[in-house]
């Protein structure tokens, strides 16, 4: 069940340690008596396209080998089921590929983010890539459109992040004492009069890291309704932007036991290319009018 639901059970006093309430941060000691209520874990209702077909998902598998599978995740699809989400990517993949009982997410993407989602087919592969992620040995790169003209070719950001969990989605901010978070922003091109297309490499994988770091630098991500600029987002609506402009475009690492390189990339989806083209056309029209 979702972690948020487990936390609610603890905070509401339904989980007891030594017959008393306990804080979620409490660490169990030898001899503690834990009471867990009889909470059912009902299977989520299946939410499939009309006709019940998962062909659309199969078509989005961009790489598969003996150890890993890479999905080009569309924006708007959660990586896993949870509160208010009956079926996410991993549940749908398990239904599509029942012959692979050990399918597990290697990492996560925000629901509004598209692109490379890495899924392990074996526990051994999951453990190996998790170790590489912890050690910062996985090269993860994103494309994003941000507000304003980026003034330097490359921008390194090392700003700790702290997460405040509450009802609904978590909110993250830069704060002293937070978890280490490092991002590197590289300018690809300025777009129109109000935006810049960037490539972002992240050395850590904190919740909402790119979105918060970009906003911290004064260049919030286009279409971000949590950390972004509402007026800027509204202005991009006429160019056809209906989602957050953040796309995981490549993943790469070296398998430690063999030295073999793993690399996969997924281009910008067409709806984001259309936004860039519309902004470029608009700039040209304005130039011609003046």
1 occurs within a structural domain: no
Q: Residue 252 is encoded by which pair of tokens?
A: 């790469």
Q: What is the pLDDT along the chain (290 residues), one digit of tens a residue?
A: 667 678 777 877 788 899 888 888 889 999 999 988 776 544 433 444 444 578 889 999 999 999 999 999 999 999 987 655 667 899 999 999 999 999 999 999 999 999 999 999 999 999 999 999 999 999 999 999 999 999 877 789 999 999 987 665 678 999 999 999 999 999 999 998 899 999 999 999 999 999 999 999 999 999 999 999 999 999 998 899 999 999 999 999 999 999 999 999 999 999 999 999 999 877 554 443 33
Is 65 a catalytic site residue? no
Among 55, 72, 110, 282, which one carries the catalytic annotation? 110
Select from 113, 120, 108 the least CA-distant residue to 63.
Answer: 120
Q: Is the pTM of this model over 0.85?
A: no
Given a contact cutoff of 8 angstroms between Cβ atoms, the answer to whether 214 and 113 are in contact is no
Residue 44 lies in a domain: no
Kindly state whether residue 12 falls inside one of the protein's structural domains: no
d(CA 90, CA 95): 9
Q: Is residue 245 part of a domain?
A: yes
In this structure, the strands spanning 34-35 and 16-17 are antiparallel
Please report whether residue 191 resides in a domain: yes
Number of domains composing the chain: 1
Does residue 7 lie within any of the structural domains?
Answer: no
The closest of 220, 237, 230 to 148, measured between CA atoms, is 220
Residues 6+ apart with CB under 8 A from 17: 26, 28, 32, 33, 34, 35
Q: Is residue 28 part of a domain?
A: no
Sequence-ordered list of residues with C-beta below 8 angstroms from that of 60, at least 6 positions apart, any chain: 71, 72, 73, 74
Bridge partners of 261, per DSSP, are 254
Give the residue numbers spanning the domain of 78.
Answer: 50-289
Q: What is the CATH number of the domain that holds 218?
A: 3.30.2350.10
Long-range contacts of 1-10 (CB under 8 A, 24+ apart): 1/39, 1/41, 2/81, 2/82, 2/83, 4/82, 4/83, 4/165, 5/83, 7/165, 9/36, 9/37, 9/39
Cβ proximity of 221 and 87 under 8 Å: no
CA 237 and chain centroid, separation? 23
2 in a structural domain: no
């Amino acid at each position: 069940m979702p972690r948020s639901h487990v936390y609610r059970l603890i905070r509401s006093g339904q989980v007891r340690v030594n017959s008393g309430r306990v804080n979620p941060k409490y660490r169990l000691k030898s001899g503690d008596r834990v009471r867990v209520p009889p909470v059912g874990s009902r299977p989520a209702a299946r939410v499939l396209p009309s006709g019940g077909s998962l062909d659309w998902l199969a078509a989005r598998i961009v790489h598969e080998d003996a150890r890993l599978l890479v999905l080009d995740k569309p924006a708007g699809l959660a990586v896993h089921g949870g509160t208010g989400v009956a079926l996410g990517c991993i549940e749908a993949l398990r239904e599509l590929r029942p012959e692979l009982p050990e399918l597990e997410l290697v990492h996560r993407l925000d629901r509004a983010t598209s692109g490379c989602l890495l899924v392990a087919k074996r526990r051994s592969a999951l453990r190996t890539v998790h170790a590489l992620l912890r050690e910062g040995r996985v090269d993860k790169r994103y494309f994003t459109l941000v507000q304003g003209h980026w003034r330097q070719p490359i921008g390194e950001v090392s700003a700790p992040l702290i997460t405040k969990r509450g009802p609904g989605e978590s909110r993250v901010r830069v704060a002293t004492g937070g978890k280490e978070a490092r991002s590197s922003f590289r300018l690809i091109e300025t777009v129109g009069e109000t935006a810049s297309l960037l490539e972002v490499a992240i050395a850590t994988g904190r919740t909402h890291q790119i979105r918060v770091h970009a906003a911290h630098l004064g260049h919030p991500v286009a279409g971000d309704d949590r950390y972004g600029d509402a007026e800027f987002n509204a202005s991009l609506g006429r160019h056809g932007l209906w989602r957050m402009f953040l796309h995981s475009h490549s993943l790469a690492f070296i398998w430690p036991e063999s030295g073999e390189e793993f690399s996969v990339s997924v281009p910008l989806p067409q709806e984001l290319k259309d936004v860039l083209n519309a902004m470029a056309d608009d700039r040209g029209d304005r130039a011609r009018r003046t």
